[in-house]
Amino acid sequence: MATILKHWYVFALALVLSLASALGLIYLRKDAWMPSGNTVKKAEPVSEAGPLASQSFREWEFSAAELENLRIQLEGEKETLRKKEDELQRLEGQIRSEVADLNVLRRELETLRQDIHKDIIVIDDNERQNLRSLSSLYAEMKAPAAVKVLGELKIDTVVKILSLMPSDAAARILGTLADLPGEDSAEKAAEITEAIRNLKK
C-alpha cells in the first residue's frame, strides 16, 4: 500500500511539471500567436473567393458600364436609322408618284405626237420623182378637168401633187375647187390648203 501511494505522488508530480512546462512555452511564444495591441489591424473584407474575386468584380463592374454605354449608343443609332428609313420610304413614295405622273405625261405626249404626225403629210424620196411628173401633168390641164380628176384621189396624194406644182397652177385648181357648188367644196379646198402648209417635203 505504501508503494502504491509512493508511485501516485510521482505521477502527480510529473503531471504538474508537464503542465508548468506547457504554460511556460505558451507564455514565451505569445508574440507568435497573439499580436500586440499596436499592431492590430482591422481585417479587410475579403470575398469568399479571395483577392481574385474582388479584381474580377471590379472588371465586371467596368465591363457593365461599357456595355451600358454601348447599349445607349446603339439605341441612338437605331433611332437614327429608323428616321432615315422613314425618310427613304417617304422619298420612295414621292418618286413613285412622280414616275406615275411622268408616265401619264409621256403617254399624253406620245398621243399628241401621233396626232401631229397624223396631220403632217410627208413626201418620201422614192415617190418624189413620180409626184413631180404628175404635178406637171395636172398643171398643164385646165383647172375644171384637173379638179375632177384630183377629186377621185386620196387627199394626201392631192396635197403632194399640188405642193409640187407652180404656185399659180395650184392656186387655179384650188380656186376652181372652192367655186364648185356645195359647202363641202370650199371646206375641202381649205383642208387641202392647210395640209399643204403642214406638208413636210
Strand spans (E) along 96-150: none
Looking at residue 125, its pLDDT comes to 79
Q: CA gyration radius for the chain?
A: 62
Give the C-alpha separation, 65 to 116, whole Å: 75
Looking at residue 46, its pLDDT comes to 46
Please answer whether residues 51 and 44 qualify as being in contact, where contact means their C-beta atoms are separated by less than 8 angstroms.
no
The span from the first CA to the last CA of the chain, in angstroms, equals: 168
Looking at residue 89, its pLDDT comes to 92
The alpha carbon of 3 is separated from its chain's Cα centroid by a whole number of angstroms, namely 118
Please answer whether residues 124 and 101 qualify as being in contact, where contact means their C-beta atoms are separated by less than 8 angstroms.
no
Ranges of the chain whose pLDDT falls below 70: 1-10, 30-62, 117-119, 200-201
Give the C-alpha separation, 80 to 73, whole Å: 11
Looking at residue 108, its pLDDT comes to 92
Give the C-alpha separation, 163 to 161, whole Å: 5
